[in-house]
Amino acid sequence: MAQTTGALSMVIAKLEYSTNGSDYTDISGEAGNIQGTDQSRQSGETYTFDGDTAIVTAGKREPMELQFDVVYTEATADAWELLRPYFEAGSAVYFRWSPKGGSSTNFQYTSDAGYLISFPYPAGEAAPGDPIMGSWTFKTPKVTKSAVA
Amino acid sequence: MAKAGAGQAKRTKSKVAAKKKKERYRALTLIWHRGDKRYYRPGDEFGLDHLSEASKWLLVETQIVELIGQPDQDEE
């Protein structure tokens, strides 16, 4: 089979959040890493006297814990300050991302309503001079793939 | 006479615009509609007036949507 020419990197990905599931805010300029996108399905297994292999059954999909690495900034319109109140109030938010940037025909992965379950307040050491970063953990039942039109 | 000609041209122009506006599409997969800010499931019908002709063509070409015509064009 011929080698694929459709491979992608995440260099132009777009990450957005929403508080209502329809109006999204682009935070690609402050986020630099999306992780935890794997989802597990519960499964069971048992053995019988007959046969040599397990009987396997499938259960429900487990929730996902997505992680977003975000640059700490203090402007009120920036992602950090926009999302902090939602963590502190325990209010639901939505996230979605598009590896190709969210233009027409691009695929997009949208979370269900979920909660920021871990939100870092600024931390760091004196020496390296690196930008303050933080990793948000967002728990959601699932993400749904769609195409952008 | 010249006035009538201009009116005719105007009517034809607006008819073309109306026809363009009424293009309807059907989703072939789950899509996020940036104009309506909502999802459409496969089989749902909608317009794509927020997109350029090139973008519409690309969506049809990549089989994300299909053009189902202009249902109201004959009513003009």
Q: What is the pTM of this model?
A: 0.84
Domains of chain A: 14-147 (2.40.30)
Indicate which of A14, A16, A105 best probes the interface with B, i.e. most B CBs within 10 Å of its own CB: A105
Q: What's the confidence (pLDDT) of residue B76?
A: 46
Contact A149/B39, CB-based, under 8 Å? no
- Split into its structural domains, chain B has a count of 1
Q: Which chain A residues have a beta carbon less than 8 Å from that of B47?
A: none
* Percentage, residues of chain B above pLDDT 70: 63
pLDDT above 50 for B43: yes
pLDDT above 70 for A61: yes
Q: What's the confidence (pLDDT) of residue A18?
A: 97
Question: Is B62's Cβ below 8 Å from some Cβ in A?
Answer: yes
* Percentage, residues of chain A above pLDDT 90: 99
Question: Is A43's Cβ below 8 Å from some Cβ in B?
Answer: no
Contact A102, A148 (CB under 8 A): yes
pLDDT digits (tens, 9 = 90+) for B4-27: 555 566 666 665 555 555 799 999
Average pLDDT over residues A32-45: 97
Here the ipTM equals 0.80
Task: Write the DSSP string, A10-76.
Answer: STT-EEEEESSSSSEEE-TTTEEEEE-----EEEEEE--SSSSS-EEEEEEEPPEEEEEEEE----T
Q: Could you list the residue range(s) of the whole structural domain that residue B10 is in?
A: 2-75
Average pLDDT over residues A100-125: 96
Question: Is A105's Cβ below 8 Å from some Cβ in B?
Answer: yes
pLDDT above 60 for A118: yes
Which residue in chain A is spatially nearest to B47 when comparing CA positions?
A149
pLDDT above 50 for A133: yes
pLDDT above 70 for A141: yes
Average pLDDT over residues A18-22: 94
Question: Is B64's Cβ below 8 Å from some Cβ in A?
Answer: yes
Residue pointed to by tokens 């006035």: B3
A-contacting residues in B 10-49 (Cβ below 8 Å): 27, 29-34, 37-40, 48
Q: Which chain B residues have a beta carbon less than 8 Å from that of A147?
A: 29-32, 59, 64
Tell me the pLDDT band of A105, cut-offs 50, 70 and 90: very high
Better-predicted residue by pLDDT, A122 or B76:
A122
